[in-house]
Structure 1
Amino acid sequence: MKEGAGMEAITFLCPGCGAYLRYDGGREKWVCDYCDSEFTKEELEQRGAAVEDSSYEVSPGDSGEQGKLEFEFQENITEQEEDAHLRAYHCPSCGAEIITDDVTAATFCVFCQNPTVLPQKFSGKYHPSAVVPFETDKKQAQEAFLKLCEGKKLLPDGFTEEQRLEKITGIYVPFWLFDCSADFDYHATGEIHTIWSDSRFHYTKIDLFHIHRAGTMDFAQIPLDASEKMQDDLMDALEPFDFSKAQPFDIRYLSGYLAEKYTYEPKDLYERMTNRISPGVQRQAGQNSGRYHSVHSIRCDTKFKSEKQDYLLLPVWMLMSRYKDQNYLFAMNGQTGKIVGQLPIDSGKSVKWFFLIFLISLVITGILAFLVGGVLL
């Protein structure tokens, strides 16, 4: 367990009633669920709605004295090595213990839902250059999940119950954006077929052409998730994100959501980046080959170079469900609403539907056989 002295945590409080604030992507404002107040970023900057370190100022309607709420970092004294990465904090609202790991940078108390941000996790090299704020809310994510499950007869019973819907959580996922250049050297063999015939024979003439193209392609803002916890294929499937709406990093956007710092450096993602780009390079290099009847023996040698990578946080709504020792993930792009998901199948229901369809097909076959036999007679 690493020493945690001097660690701070921040909770953003409503200037009106002192309750916690959360960022609402649909309204693009910070909202208070207790007094229904709404604040823009400029209003928060003017009124200073944050509690830092171990104290906060009570709202103007209170006694005027400064209230003290403990928000201390506790050293994890566990002797088990696998737990050494855990960190324990006290919730400033209810006093409950909040457990996080090394990469968690924004979380909330499971007892009182008090949102908490740990700014130290985003300091130094872990400071993002930008954040794409949520533009959808939890209700929209729940509706998208229900729509995804709609009509799925083989889902386990209770899979769409309200208790499960409440577990859908907004997460700011760390991403690296790569700018990359690709120097390519493309070689292939093209064939043009000429066919004719006379009174005796059919002829086919095949002309072979060596296709050679070389050049440089530039790619910008290739997103790759930088968290070892996330499934890469599902994160890729959530694209595209509109990076023109990215905002300079402001930790207040994290209030009310989970957030993590990156666990993969750009060098760890370089091979994955090149694997994503390579098919596109070859496809672009081979364009305008339509005049050939066939193209084969393709070889595309490519040298990649990336000198610029930007670190930012992207919004994702997620629900992880476990069914029969297997994890199933639902995810929704928190900006565009695009959804991807893995849904479990109840094996018992699958067997029942198989036999039901089998019996129906037997009945239909029997009826058709009877009708055909009656006509023949």
Structure 2
Amino acid sequence: MLTTSLRRLRLCSPALASLLLAAACGGPGGGGDGVDAGLATGCSTTGCPAGERCSAATDACIPDGTCAGNADCAAGMNCDLATHTCAGCGSQELPIEAVPPHVLLVLDRSCSMRQVPAGVTTTDTKWMSAVAAIGALTSTFADDVRWGLAMFPDSEGEHCAQAAPAVPIGPDTAPLIGDLLTSALATTDVNYPDFPCVTNIDTGMTQADALLSPLTGPEREYAMLITDGAQSANCDLGGGDLGSERVVAEMHARGIDTFVVGFGGSVDKVQLNKLAVAGGQARPGVTQYFDAATAAELQVALDAIARSVVSCSLRIDPAPADLGQTFVFFEDTEQVPRDPSHAAGWDYDPATMQLTLYGAYCDRLQDRTVADIDVVFGCPQPIVD
């Protein structure tokens, strides 16, 4: 049974991309740096008299065998300020990793994307607005999500078929996606929406299935369909509307959900509702897909989707030996309860070695209102800086 280890996780930025699980725990008085435990100062320069040593925590002389802060103790130990002695678990630092989801953007680049949305005062085309919104999305959530980009119709080969994706899913793809789409604003670029002039949602989603289904890691996979139109009747290599519904439903059955975004007033509302339901991400109400009539609404929709998929799971390796002696804290003091029912709290899955937060605690991570998490094994208290 693990009774002598305390490990700490600090979130240094809103992104859950670089996390560290630090080990230490203290005695009854807690621990901390910055205590003035001696009259002399600057002892690293002046030295200390016999029977005293220079505190690494305060740069002041302290009696031998005592401490004034954690820096005076060995690795994995804390200074108990009640007794000014080092105590603790003596464990080592171990890495901890976030588990970012995989999201494939399935973007409509049909000719109608060159049009200005109806009822707006801007001269920006739907393509210009989509490029700007996706660029902001992928850069904002660059550390939280592993992005990929596929566009339909494909500019190469048979007009209703799909070739290779523009940007395969992977780490650090946000700049690649941004650069590719920015280049596609030029009318001479191969990805500019001028040819072919078809809307092949069916083969676009079939390609998404082929790209997402082989991924076998612990990450969740999602597709995000963004379209301004309806399936072309003369372009049904993937089965047309029924084919789109079938492949999206099959993806959902395998745990790959699809978010559906309709941009502008020319979308097939009935069909997009069906795809949203089949994809497992139907919204409440009559309009069950994300309906964006303007560039601003498109940005809001994409941002909402991204926040909803940000992972609330943390991979912990090695696994805690005793979940009964595992504790989680927000912001140094707020203890998060363990909740095996997954309603509100945390739980640990030994099969995936992931600690996952649920309910309002997960919401706070996704909303980026939590800056510090302590995960404590064996010691029921976090380290307070």
**TM-score higher than 0.5:** no
Greater strand content: 1
Structure 1 length normalisation: TM-score? 0.23
Structure 2 length normalisation: TM-score? 0.22
Give the greater-gyration-radius structure (CA).
1
